[in-house]
Structure 1
Amino acid sequence: MNSRRVWFITGASSGIGLSMTKTVLDNGGIAIATLRKPSALDALKAKYPSNRLHILKLDVVNRDDIITAFKYAERELGRIDIVFNNAGHGIIAEIEGTPDDVAKKMFDVNFWGAMNVSKEAVRFFREVNKPQGGRLWNISSTAGIFPFASFGYYSASKHALEGATEAFAAELDPKWNIKVTLLEFGSFKTRIMQPESSPEFPVHPAYTDPTLMGNIVRGLKNNGTYGEADKATSMLFHRLANEPGPPLRIAVGLDANNSIKQKLKKVEADITKYESWSDDLH
């Protein structure tokens, strides 16, 4: 069953999106690979038959591109089984050192673009697929739960995606058989830290102290322990895609699991410590 599924993948030009595309194809699946510059997949196009690799231009900030891509899937393939909603990028800068226009453009991709793809995916699963149903995987990040200094607005964009996705999942009628999962990715060997994917701005003058967490995080960005992207996408293809009752969230990578557990413990400790302050408020 898995090898016959149709996968709709955004941000397929590099990183996790490209790895997922290759994993699908190498395991006999059908991939609709979408990206802003289709020529980036010319090498892949030469390797796989056109009835299994469909390459489409899609900029997720363009609603017409999204609609056109899903119409193509309906016309040419008749169904989509899994939407791998991956397109996104980062910014490395302190909150005070991030230009507003740059942060807003990132939100257009990471949040609004991802949610517009999500809405079209749900409509497709409900109204086009026969029988109804499908899997929507929204690619989040450890930063969506555990925000990182110097990645403040990136973390915020993923927090927004987390909240909207969870609310959207709760709104869906169970009889539509649409399964929604947030993938909390940790650190993997991709180009996400390269300037074209995560532009870095100079340290704000007020934050030059090297002991500040933001500067420590900046220093670690190219020296951390990173997972193998192909191993992650293979696990998702073979395990999560076949999980009959998939979770709303799954942490991908040991660092993601550890960081999120640390955050949840801190939240629980704070809430418990001050719980009694609410005793006389009702």
Structure 2
Amino acid sequence: MSKTVFITGASSGIGKSIAMYLYNKGYAVVGTSRNPNKVEVPFQMVALDVTNQETIRTAIAEAIEKVGKIDVLINNAGKGITGPIEDTPTDEMKENFNTNFFGVIDVIKEVLPYMREQKGGLIINTTSIAAYMGLPFRGIYSASKGALELVTEALSMEVKQFGINVVNVAPGDFATNIAAGRYHTPVFENSAYKEKYAENLALMDTHVDSGADPIIMAKAIHQIIGNKTPKIHYKVGGFMEKFSIVLKRILPDKVYEKLLMNHYKL
């Protein structure tokens, strides 16, 4: 019997690329979207909003009914957010954490009892290269993804006894529509950060538009699923994106900060 995969946020971008790739490799795929009826894909889709626990319960139950089990959970659904910390509404910060952090945890909580019962499973959390460093004007996004990286480490140790593996996959910039779905704090006329934030907002969108093909991420996920003893942390991106994490480990804080500030023209 082929492995079954449940993936959140499968209607577009990286999630859709992963779901399509695994489907074409013979996996039984169930994807999710808040509005699955608007999505035309060959794999099965169910309705799920990671900020709504009732839809999570219903979607997981529906997926089990459709494919019988969940061997692999891929928490891909996420939301971007940009803005100076001082200017960004706190409610928007909380909403970002509800999607990128608490929503992921709620999906995991719902799937774990099924995986324990079947005595095994794999949970893959999509984080970000940005999770490894506090990036200017993306601090809340970095924080939500960084928090997920750490929770994954803890969860990995807690569920190992049940034959369940938990891993993070941190992508760099990929050519997707994530920029369109971000919450962008407005460039306020009276903001102390107006000029620098406006410059960096354009720079961020350029990075996404010129990003790599999401199929690279799909292939990486496929390899991880095929690994019987996966690592906890994976990074998928360009050389400099991954090397930036290495530099943070070996350089003094102030030197690394200066490099980032030069990059972002601060």
Q: Using structure 1 for the length normalisation, give the TM-score.
A: 0.82
In the TM superposition, residue 199 of structure 1 has moved relative to its aligned partner by 3.0
User: CA RMSD of the aligned region, Å?
Assistant: 2.1
2:174 corresponds to which residue?
188
1:188-207 matches, within 5 Å, as: 188-194=174-180, 196-202=181-187, 205-207=191-193
Q: Which has the larger radius of gyration?
A: 1
1:80 corresponds to which residue?
70
Q: Does 1:145 align with 2:132?
A: yes
CA distance in 2, matches of 1:202, 1:113: 28
In the TM superposition, residue 117 of structure 1 has moved relative to its aligned partner by 1.0
In the TM superposition, residue 170 of structure 1 has moved relative to its aligned partner by 1.7
Q: Does 1:252 align with 2:236?
A: yes
In the TM superposition, residue 166 of structure 1 has moved relative to its aligned partner by 1.3
In the TM superposition, residue 216 of structure 1 has moved relative to its aligned partner by 5.4
Give unmatched runs, 5+ long, in structure 2: 256-266
In the TM superposition, residue 173 of structure 1 has moved relative to its aligned partner by 4.0
Indicate if the aligned counterparts of 1:191 and 1:197 stay in contact, CA closer than 8 A.
no
CA distance in 2, matches of 1:92, 1:269: 23
* Paired AA for residue 85 in structure 1: N
Q: Does 1:134 align with 2:121?
A: yes
Indicate if the aligned counterparts of 2:28 and 2:67 stay in contact, CA closer than 8 A.
no
1:92 corresponds to which residue?
82
| Number of residue pairs aligned between Structure 1 and Structure 2 | 251
2:113 corresponds to which residue?
123
Q: Identify if the C-alpha distance between structure 1 residues 268 and 103 changes in structure 2 by more than 3 Å, giving closer, same or farther.
A: closer
CA distance in 2, matches of 1:77, 1:94: 44
Indicate if the aligned counterparts of 1:150 and 1:215 stay in contact, CA closer than 8 A.
no
2:23 corresponds to which residue?
25
* Aligned-partner SS, 1:103: helix
Q: Does 1:160 align with 2:147?
A: yes
* Paired AA for residue 216 in structure 2: K
Q: Identify if the C-alpha distance between structure 1 residues 216 and 246 changes in structure 2 by more than 3 Å, giving closer, same or farther.
A: farther
2:250 corresponds to which residue?
265
* Paired AA for residue 137 in structure 1: I
Q: Using structure 2 for the length normalisation, give the TM-score.
A: 0.87
CA distance in 2, matches of 1:234, 1:198: 29
Give unmatched runs, 5+ long, in structure 1: 271-282
